[in-house]
Structure 1
């Protein structure tokens, strides 16, 4: 039976044909791995995701977390699913063998983790946050902190969260009021009221390790005064650490993940320890936040992917309408209708194109950390920093649109709970909001990332795109050459728009940034067009493969690329016109007119 979590052949294509991930085994850290071990890890992940995560996706939605006798109650399937994940080594997938890890490249680990998001993003979130906390402790903890906290995090005895948001602060972290008062023993008394803390309370592990942003007494104002603290739910002896569950928040989607209000230090006895340097909490936290933003992009993509696969299966089975005007002709599957094919292709280009983008970024992360050449490491880091806000926001926005089309393909049935696509859309809608809203990502991209280091990252991206254009034209294929010309034009339009906006930014920042979200969408479409052209170049020689299944797969890639260049990339032209006009409508608007 074909998986409804992923097209396994597509994942193989992206990893091995598009990204050549096996070349990472040339790096000493991954020398013991091979294509076989990478594929085995993915197959194991797909099996656990299918058998343990997917079956309770709907129950996690309908039987959402509740409080009984002061404790959070979850569906009984959640804990064993997470235990299977931990026992298979996926919680420690990227960590050293000596720490019980699989020492996988992040590219392969993200491919594995993506499958759990497709199967049940609510259950997966508990593990994803714990992975991020373990990475933070590994990166910024002292030797003593690593020895104390890493083992229970990596073996699933402790789970983790990141604790930023406060009722008055929202996304404006400069407004955080949480305090940390020094104790004589070098630790701190934490006082804070926090809200929207994902996975903030549960009984899935012996303990929960909260990473909390708070202010020391001598902290400067704003974000430069934030420090980061390890604050466990329970102390070493099992007694409470004065972290109180103040309530659960009930959400539109991802209902199976607890969203909590937490009070730290109601009795003045919440003890935490500093992680990283004083007043550098946000700088440290950005490592986890950037990982989380890529995870959001992967989540959004995989929910779109699952919706696409469900819609495709339904379209092949649902008989409605006829191929001819003759009412006596037999009904045909709705996949035969042009408008349904349009909707399916629109989902396919987001799902497969978005996954290509996320895995491309994962490969940059591996290169940024481990490439033996210092220049290559630096350039990979520049590109990863540039792409992170695009991955988070473009995948989130386009993923929801794709899920909406999955419902449309199902017709009235898609709007019912008997079919999974309505839940997938609700689960996906959160991704545009958390880990920095899509609008904040757009401001980050245009206001900081594209101009960083004199635009070095953007120049690197342009060089890569134009190299693909040149390579494509050398193939002597008219269709691909047309795509290449279109991409070249789109890149030059993006570069022109970027230069216009960056020139206006110093003197007219509000005007330059007013349509930053439009800029991010145009940027994302151009970026994904490049990835679709690269996929089409690989697929073109195999479109008449002697194996019929392989031929259909490669022709599907060519059809998807054609759709992106004919239906999606042209959307950027009016966006560039708007952006270069420096339209003042949003800046000058009298909000009393709204």
Structure 2
């Protein structure tokens, strides 16, 4: 295990300097908090993660969650996470005071969770899903449901899940068949099966509260007929005692990564005795679930960024300590008499490390930016400003979920390569990070689904107003960069990319205008990569402008080397990553259609 899994200085730099958490703290909802209290929280989270999370990461992979005697057994640290996480506010933190929360800004909660996930990504999901389930009840449930379930969930005594996927339906939620039959007492009898339910069963929660999508008998077909139900594993009886609610753990999926984070197959109502309780109005379940999806997708991006970050620090530590080979002399030959050099001095190793640095730190910046938009959307009082940040959030959310997941996996793969043969061995942690991060591009909607959401829905939101707002934000950063001579070149490159992006987007939208939606969306995934890379170039230019300003004004919180490293990383991203959009633009502008099914089969 590496000595370091996260750089707190970089996290605080992005949180306080680049993305100005104080702007959110100035809003009425957060008036009880200040930078000092935020630092206390982050420092306590880091101490907890050092002590209770990071030391158990490898052990949880080697001792995976597993099905036994009708239930799932998980590592003992899940119990520590549920109990102490509840006590420390890891579950309740973002909620309002009246709901038992701490009214923490999403930015701070994101930073706190990032530390925990970098330390041990197998543990955070148990409390994260409990938070998500509680959030649904708080926002849409009756007061009775809130009173019965929320306090126990926020304390960590009870767990929570979200149950969407079914064996026959997969991501196609319009095809779910789980049934809900109304009963005379206002409850519903639930019957059906759900698969891939993260945190669906374990021995360290007295109860697990499932938020289940189901179809009320006689409801309309498709997504319009889906309702949302609270379906506890155990339901309180009239005396308040917990009794079985006919929720069965059928199996636990064994996975290539995140092996300490259980993923279950659940059966509801096998004995005809499963009770569910309607959340909100009938037939609005999918709407309720997706209103919470922005937070869930920020969480997935955050997890990808966290694993990529931990892998980067493990790779960097190895490269600084591993002697191998010799530096090339000015003659172009190696001197066999010269001692070995550390591999961090080899240019190609430095290239891979810089790739890891730019992907992981850039991803963290993107996730924190989305969290800021989330905060401003929910705390500002000016309706026009609320709309602005709401639109910006909607547009970048698919990228926030996708870029850290997809590029994070590439980043970890590069880290494994830095270690060479040792990277492939279980003695070192890189192979585990490589396996753990692979699921993140599948969580909460695959990359293909996110890409179609970006191109097919978000880009056209409010007749393109969201895209216009994002373009304006990027241009502000370009104008700020133009004030510094050594940043002008990079500002110009990003400006040119904005013009190219406009051409690409207009070309693609042309198919939508003609009603050719299959062609319009057929290259949505290359477009996701294209726009995400441009967006990350903006993230890095923004960091470089902030760093340059600190160096010029002398208002430095960190060392000169720290700020120079951010500028150097930006230059690397503009040299090695941004030019990849040239090839993607060529793909997106190409008139040839090769992936749409036709009369002739091309696979044999």
What TM-score does the superposition give when structure 1 sets the normalisation length?
0.97
Query: Of the candidates 233, 252, 256, which is equivalent to residue 252 of structure 1?
Result: 256
- The residue that corresponds to 2:222 in the other structure is 222
User: 1:6-53: per-residue Cα shift (whole Å, max 9, x none)?
Assistant: 111101110111011012221111111110011111111111111101
CA contact (8 A) 1:301 1:396 kept: yes
* Alignment match of 1:365 (pick from 363, 374, 381): 374
Matches of 2:432 and 2:321, distance apart in 1: 21
Matched, 1:593 2:603: yes
The residue aligned with 1:536 is 544
Taking the aligned partners of 1:228 and 1:81, their CA distance within structure 2 comes to: 28
Name the counterpart of 1:384.
393
> What displacement does 1:309 show?
0.5
Q: For residues 104 and 436 of structure 1, what CA distance do their matches in structure 2 show? A: 27
Aligned to 1:437: 446
Distance 1:123 1:174, change over 3 A: same
- Cα distance in 2 for partners of 1:591, 1:43 equals 59
In the alignment, what sits opposite 1:44? 44
> Which string of whole-angstrom CA distances, capped at 9 and with x for unpartnered residues, describes residues 125-175 of structure 1?
101101111111111112222222211111111110000111110011111
**283, 288, 297: which one pairs with 1:293?**
297
Q: Are residue 123 (structure 1) and residue 123 (structure 2) matched?
A: yes
In 2, distance between residues paired with 1:510 and 1:547? 52
* Partner in structure 1 of residue 287 of structure 2: 283
- Report the CA distance shift for 1:3/1:541 in structure 2 as closer, same or farther (over 3 A): farther
Task: Select between 424-433 and 491-500 the one with higher mean Cα deviation.
Answer: 491-500
Q: Distance in 2 between matches of 1:264 and 1:548?
A: 55
Gap change, CA 1:153 and 1:547, over 3 Å in 2 = closer
Given that residues 6 and 313 in structure 2 are in contact (C-alpha distance below 8 angstroms), is that contact kept between their aligned partners in structure 1?
yes
Q: Assess if the C-alpha contact under 8 Å between 1:511 and 1:583 holds in 2.
A: no
Counterpart contact for 1:522–1:575, Cα < 8 Å? yes
Partner of 1:520: 528
CA–CA distance in structure 2, aligned partners of residues 146 and 202 of structure 1: 23
Provide closer, same or farther for how the CA distance between residues 582 and 191 of structure 1 changes in structure 2, counting only shifts above 3 A: farther
Offset, 1:512: 1.5
Residues 367-425 of structure 1: CA deviation (Å, up to 9, x unaligned): 01111211111111111111111111111110000000110001111111111111011
Report the equivalent of 1:147.
147
1:68 deviates by: 2.9
Please state whether the residue corresponding to 1:269 is helix, strand or coil. Answer: coil
Q: CA deviation at 1:253?
A: 0.5
Q: Is the 8 A contact 2:324 2:341 kept in 1?
A: yes
Say which SS state the counterpart of residue 95 (structure 2) adopts.
Answer: coil
SS of residue matched to 2:579? helix
Which secondary structure does the structure 2 equivalent of 1:15 belong to? helix
1:307 to 301, 307, 311: 311
Q: How far has the Cα of 1:100 moved from its partner? A: 3.5
What is the CA-CA distance between 1:502 and the residue it aligns to? 1.4
1:482 corresponding residue in structure 2: 489
1:558 match: 567
Extract unaligned runs of 5+ from structure 1: none
Contact 1:226/1:281 (8 A) holds in 2: yes
| Higher mean C-alpha displacement, 250-259 vs 544-553 | 544-553
Deviating more after overlay: 67-76 vs 495-504: 67-76
In structure 1, the residue matched to 2:335 is: 326
Aligned to 2:559, the other structure's residue is in SS state: helix
Aligned pair partner of 1:413 in 422, 434, 443: 422
Residues 303 and 153 of structure 1, relative CA distance in 2, 3 Å threshold = same
Instruction: Give the C-alpha shift of residue 548 in structure 1.
Output: 12
After the TM superposition, which residues 351-362 of structure 1 pair with which residues of structure 2 at under 5 Å, given as runs?
351-362=360-371
Q: Cα deviations across residues 444-480 of structure 1 (Å, max 9, x unaligned)?
A: 11011100110110000001111111121123x13x1
CA shift for structure 1 position 84? 2.0
Conservation of the 8 A alpha-carbon contact between 1:133 and 1:288: no
Would you say the 8 A contact 1:48–1:84 is kept in 2? no
**1:493 alignment counterpart:** 500
Separation (CA, whole Å) in 2 of partners of 1:364 and 1:234: 38
The question of whether the paired residues in 1 share the 8 Å contact of 2:99 and 2:138 is answered with no
* Residue 509 (structure 1) aligned with residue 517 (structure 2): yes
Tell me by how many angstroms 1:288 deviates: 2.9
State which drifts further: 147-156 or 63-72: 63-72
Question: How far apart are 1:245 and its partner, in Å?
Answer: 0.7
The Cα shift of 1:494 comes to 1.4
Q: Is contact 1:141-1:275 (8 Å) kept?
A: yes
- 1:541: Cα distance to partner? 3.9
- 1:235 aligned counterpart, secondary structure: strand
- Is the counterpart of residue 109 in structure 1 residue 114 in structure 2? no
The whole-number CA distance in structure 2 between the counterparts of 1:557 and 1:124 is 29
Cα distance change on mapping 1:240 and 1:26 into 2, 3 Å: same
Check conservation: 1:48, 1:85, Cα contact below 8 A: no
Given that residues 72 and 202 in structure 1 are in contact (C-alpha distance below 8 angstroms), is that contact kept between their aligned partners in structure 2?
A: yes
Q: Which residue of 1 aligns with 2:132?
A: 132
1:239 alignment counterpart: 243
Aligned to 1:83: 83
The number of equivalent residue pairs is 592
Query: SS where residue 208 of structure 1 aligns?
Result: strand
**What's the CA shift for 1:3?**
6.0
Whether contact under 8 Å (1:511, 1:582) holds in the other structure is no
Query: Counterparts of 1:483 and 1:528 in 2: how far apart (Å)?
Result: 13
What is the TM-score of this pair, normalised by structure 2? 0.95
Q: Indicate how the Cα distance of structure 1 residues 112 and 591 shifts in structure 2: closer, same or farther if over 3 A, else same.
A: farther
Per-residue deviation at 1:592? 4.2
Q: Which residue of 1 aligns with 2:204?
A: 204
Cα RMSD of the aligned pairs, angstroms, is: 1.7
**SS of residue paired to 1:139:** helix
Shift of 1:75: 1.8
Mapped partners of 1:321, 1:580: distance in 2: 45
